[in-house]
Structures are given as structure tokens and as C-alpha cells.
Amino acid sequence: MNNHEKYTRYSGAQSVTEALKFLEGRWKLLILFQLFGGQIMRFSELERAIPGITQKMLGQQLKQLEKDGIIKRTAYPEVPPRVEYSLTQWGQDLCPALDALLTWTGKRPR
Amino acid sequence: MNNHEKYTRYSGAQSVTEALKFLEGRWKLLILFQLFGGQIMRFSELERAIPGITQKMLGQQLKQLEKDGIIKRTAYPEVPPRVEYSLTQWGQDLCPALDALLTWTGKRPR
DNA sequence: CAGGATCCGAAAAGATACTG
DNA sequence: CAGTATCTTTTCGGATCCTG
């Protein structure tokens, strides 16, 4: 292998590593899957839809996903407060990659 | 959304979560990228090729990857010992999924 | 309703030393 | 060479209580 190929492999690893950091942790994918297909959900809806998640973890992960540009948060200045979450375009773009991972899992020998 | 779609989304999340468990951690992808393309590498080669990894982490991750059926370990009964690592077929099958993730990373808005 | 703040235990990662 | 054992440090997740 030449140096170019070495470099390509290494930089690919770095990029994918970075990509996985956006998804890592026990809850992020469970949240994202709730939002796929253009769903719009409120905080309490997500809380109910994801069994076992605590408010702390939900809030924490939502904040990170928003900061990473994967989901969008919309707050309405009402009483009681209402906040809605949805995927950004980039968040929707994740679908094919997750499908590919699903396919891979399906190929797993047993 | 009906219950079937609910279930499908949930089970998809579970499967992808499971898939990511095979890849999670800071080092596994860096190891795998060294082996893509049918490379065969020894323990010490991997150690040198992956900056910052410790022997402990390398050994630990290699053991898990082997147990998960992603890489193959071949030990030669020599002195000094020689051990070679390569991808299994399933390990090679991972390529498209990682490519999809790379594509996704590339789409990231800045 | 939608969270933030705090404390705690478990788990993962890292540093270092040792071995067949 | 190819690891393992041990110890320390860091990170993660959960429980609980509080607030605009």
C-alpha cells in the first residue's frame, strides 16, 4: 500500500469516528428513531415514548443533538411552556447510513 | 402513525443500537480501518500504526472484535510468537455502512 | 410542562509494570 | 513479541429534588 492509501484509510477512520461520536451513548438513536419520518414531538412525548429514559438523560441528549445540528428545537412562549423537537435536514440525511448498518447487522453469521 | 410503524421504528433503533455496540469505543474503528482491504497485520504493527493506543486497549479491543466475529486472529507457534489479524467476511461487509456514514459526515453543514 | 442542579455508583479508559 | 495484571482517573448513567 502506498502513502496515499494509508492516509485515506486513516482519515476515513477519523471521520467515521467523529460521526459515531454524534450518535454514541445509550439514548441518542432511540430519540432519533422517534423523530424519523418528519415527526415532531414534545419533550413529554419523547419521555413517554422511550421506556426507561430519565428527564436528565433526555434533556442532556436533546441538547447535544441540537448543538450538533441533528435536531431542531422550537420553543413556544406559552404558559405552560411547549417545546417541539424535529430532525434537521442533516438529521434526515442519517437515514441511509443507519439502513446500511441495519443491513450489516442482518448479515451477521450465527 | 399506527402501531406497526411504531414497532418497526423501535425495533430498527434496537438493531442499529446493537450494531453500534460492536463498533463503539475510541479504538475499534481505527483498528478496523487498518485492516480494510484485506490487510493482515501483527499486534505490534497495529500498535505502531495507531497513535496513542496502549497495549491494554489494543489487546482488549482485538479480543472483543474477534469474539464478535469481525476480525480473525491467527497465532503461529513460533519463538518469538507471531500473531496476525485480519477481517472476517462479515468484517469486510461493514465497508458500505462506514461509507454511508462517511457520506453523512461529509454533508454536515458548517 | 420542560427542564436544571446535585450527588452517587458503575463502567470505561489510561498509566504502568510484569510475563511466557 | 504479544500480551496480562493492577491501579488510578475519567466518563456515564441513574436517582432525587428544585424551578420559571
Q: Is the pLDDT of residue B11 over 60?
A: yes
Can you name the CATH fold of B25-106?
Arc Repressor Mutant, subunit A (1.10.10)
The tens digit of pLDDT for each residue in B48-65 reads 999 999 999 999 999 999
The tens digit of pLDDT for each residue in B23-40 reads 999 999 999 999 999 999
DSSP A28-79: HHHHHHHHTTT--EEHHHHHHHSTT--HHHHHHHHHHHHHTTSEEEEEE--S
Chain B residues touching residue A107 (CB < 8 angstroms): 90, 93
Q: Within window 41-80 on B, which residues have Cβ closer than 7 Å to strand C? A: 54-57, 80
Cα separation, B21 vs B15, in Å, equals: 10
**A1 exposed, middle or buried (CB, 10 Å; 0-12, 13-18, 19+)?**
exposed
Give domain limits for chain B.
25-106
